C-alpha cells in the first residue's frame, strides 16, 4: 500500500534482505559499530536531567551487533556522549556493556574522555580527568579509545600541550589504545584540535604523537569526512598501527582500500547498517572486493543523508531507524534529541533504508512511519 511521505508517494518493499547472523568473526577487517543508547521513555525527567537509559534494550542492541560479528565501540559520539549522556551515565554504560561483552564473547572498545569536567579546566585537570576514565575502561576489561576532549581544546595553547598530554596518557595506558580525531563538523568545540585550525599542521602533530609512541597505539580513528586526508594519514602511519575509518561519507572505498593499504572501520553508520555491513565484510573476506562494493556503495546515500549538516544531529536518524527496525519500542532519546531532525528528514531516511531492505519487518517499519506521520503531520501517510 502506498504511503504518502512529505517528499511524495512511496511504495514500501515487501521483503527485507536476508541478513541472518554469520558464523565466526570477520577476518579481513576489524569493524566496530559505534552504538546508540536506548532512552527510558517513561522516566519523568527534563532535557537537562541526567540520562535515563533503558538498560535491557540498550544491551540487547549490543548483543544484536555482536551476533553479526561486529565489535562495539561504546560510549562514543553515537551514544550521545556529551549530547545527553553525561560521564556518570557513560561510566555505567561502559561497566554494563563490558560485562555483557565478556558474557557473550563480544569485542568492545570504550571511549575515554574528560566530560566529567563541567567548566574551564587546567591542563593538569584535563590530564587527571582522562586518567580517571582510562582507569575505569581498563578495569572493565575493554580496549580504550582516547577521544578528543573539549576541555583540552579549550585549555591547550598550542601543539606542545597536546603532545605532552597524549604522551602522558599513552605512558599510563596498560594496553595499546585507539586515538580518535573528531572533526568540528561533529562537535564545533573541537575546532583547532591538535593545536591548529590548519589541517596539515594538525595532522603533523597527530602523527608525531603516534610516531613517538607506536607501541601504545593500536590504531587511529579519523572522523573528518575527508577521504583523501585519511588515505594520506593511513600511508604515513608506523607499521602495525591501524587506521579505523570514521568517514561516514566515503567508507566503502576506504575499507576496500587500494594497492597501498586499506582502512578498518569504527563507524556510527554501522549502527543501522550493522547486519548489512557485516555481510559485506564477509564477502570481502573471500577476496571479492567488487561484491563488497556492490553491497555497501548503495548505502552511502542513506549515510550522507543521516550525517548531513548539522552533522552532530545524525544520532536522531540512527535512533529513528532502530525504532523502525524493531530494536526498541519507541522513538525517544536522551536529552530529547528526537526533536533535532525534521519530519521530512526522517521520512527520507525511512524511504532510503526501506529501499535498501534494512528493516527485518517492513510492515512494522511502515506502520511506525505512518504513526509518526499521524502524530506530526495529521494524515498518517494517506491522502
Does the pLDDT at position 8 exceed 80? yes
Q: What is the DSSP string of 234-252?
A: HHTSPTT-EEEE--TTTHH
Does the pLDDT at position 15 exceed 70? yes
Q: What is the pLDDT of residues 79-103, one digit of tens each?
A: 999 999 999 999 999 999 999 999 9
Average the pLDDT over 248-272 and give the result: 98
Q: What is the pLDDT of residue 49?
A: 86
Which helix (H) or strand (E) segment is 220 a member of? strand 217-223
pLDDT band at 320 (very low <50, low <70, confident <90, very high): very high
Does the pLDDT at position 212 exceed 90? yes
pLDDT band at 25 (very low <50, low <70, confident <90, very high): confident
Does the pLDDT at position 22 exceed 90? no
CA distance 147 to 153: 12
The radius of gyration computed from the CA coordinates of the chain, to the nearest angstrom, equals 20
Average the pLDDT over 32-51 and give the result: 93
Q: What is the pLDDT of residues 368-382, one digit of tens each?
A: 999 999 999 877 777
Q: What is the DSSP string of 137-171?
A: HHHHTPEEEE---HHHHHH--SHHHHHHHHHHHHH
Does the pLDDT at position 46 exceed 90? no
Task: Of 112, 16, 109, 95, give the one whose Cα is nearest residue 66.
Answer: 109
pLDDT band at 165 (very low <50, low <70, confident <90, very high): very high
Which helix (H) or strand (E) segment is 71 a member of? strand 71-74
CA distance 283 to 281: 5
Q: What is the pLDDT of residue 383?
A: 62
Of the two residues 45 and 206, the one the predictor is more confident about is 206
Average the pLDDT over 129-143 and give the result: 98
Average the pLDDT over 123-134 and give the result: 98
Q: What is the pLDDT of residue 47?
A: 78
Q: Which three cell numbers stand for residue 97?
A: 556493556
3-state secondary structure 101-142: HHHHCCCEEEEECCCCCCCCCCHHHHHHHHHHHHHHHHHHCC
Q: What is the pLDDT of residue 9?
A: 96
Q: What is the pLDDT of residue 17?
A: 92
| Predicted model pTM | 0.96
CA distance 383 to 378: 10
Average pLDDT score, the chain: 96
Decide: residue 122, CB within 10 A, 0-12 exposed, 13-18 middle, 19+ buried.
exposed
Does the pLDDT at position 215 exceed 70? yes
**CB contact at 8 A, 379 and 373:** yes
Q: What percent of the chain has a predicted confidence (pLDDT) above 90? A: 94
Amino acid at each position: 500500500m502506498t504511503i504518502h511521505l512529505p517528499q511524495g508517494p512511496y511504495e514500501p518493499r515487501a521483503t527485507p534482505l536476508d541478513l541472518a547472523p554469520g558464523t565466526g568473526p570477520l577476518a579481513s577487517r576489524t569493524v566496530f559499530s559505534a552504538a546508540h543508547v536506548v532512552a527510558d521513555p517513561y522516566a519523568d525527567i527534563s532535557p537537562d536531567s541526567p540520562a535515563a537509559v533503558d538498560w535491557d534494550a540498550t544491551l540487547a542492541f549490543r548483543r544484536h551487533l555482536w551476533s553479526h560479528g561486529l565489535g562495539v565501540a561504546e560510549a562514543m559520539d553515537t551514544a550521545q556522549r556529551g549530547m545527553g549522556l553525561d560521564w556518570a551515565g557513560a561510566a555505567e554504560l561502559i561497566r554494563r556493556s563490558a560485562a555483557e561483552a565478556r558474557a557473550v564473547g563480544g569485542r568492545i572498545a570504550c571511549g575515554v574522555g574528560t566530560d566529567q569536567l563541567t567548566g574551564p579546566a587546567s591542563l593538569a585537570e584535563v590530564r587527571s580527568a582522562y586518567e580517571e576514565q582510562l582507569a575505569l575502561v581498563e578495569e572493565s576489561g575493554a580496549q580504550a579509545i582516547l577521544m578528543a576532549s573539549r576541555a583540552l581544546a579549550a585549555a591547550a595553547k598550542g601543539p606542545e600541550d597536546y603532545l605532552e598530554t597524549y604522551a602522558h596518557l599513552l605512558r599510563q595506558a596498560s594496553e595499546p589504545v585507539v586515538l580518535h580525531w573528531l572533526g568540528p563538523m561533529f562537535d564545533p568545540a573541537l575546532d583547532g584540535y591538535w593545536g591548529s585550525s590548519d589541517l596539515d599542521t594538525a595532522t603533523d602533530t597527530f602523527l608525531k604523537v603516534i610516531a613517538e609512541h607506536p607501541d601504545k597505539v593500536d590504531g587511529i580513528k579519523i572522523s573528518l569526512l575527508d577521504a583523501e586526508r585519511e588515505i594520506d594519514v593511513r600511508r604515513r602511519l608506523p607499521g602495525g598501527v591501524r587506521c579505523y575509518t570514521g568517514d561516514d561519507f566515503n567508507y566503502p572505498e576506504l575499507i576496500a582500500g587500494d594497492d597501498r593499504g586499506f582502512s578498518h572501520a569504527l563507524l556510527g553508520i554501522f549502527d543501522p547498517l550493522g547486519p548489512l555491513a557485516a555481510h559485506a565484510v564477509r564477502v570481502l573476506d573471500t577476496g571479492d572486493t567488487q561484491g563488497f562494493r556492490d553491497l555497501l556503495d548503495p548505502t552511502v546515500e542513506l549515510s550522507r543523508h543521516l550525517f548531513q549538516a548539522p552533522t552532530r544531529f545524525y544520532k536522531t536518524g540512527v535512533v529513528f531507524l532502530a525504532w523502525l527496525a524493531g530494536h526498541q519500542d519507541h522513538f525517544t532519546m536522551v536529552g530529547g534529541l528526537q526533536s533535532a531532525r525534521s519530519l521530512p528528514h526522517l521520512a527520507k531516511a525511512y524511504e532510503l533504508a526501506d529501499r535498501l531492505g534494512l528493516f527485518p519487518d517492513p510492515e512494522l517499519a511502515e506502520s511506525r512511519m505512518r504513526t509518526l506521520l499521524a502524530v506530526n503531520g495529521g494524515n498518517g501517510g494517506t491522502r
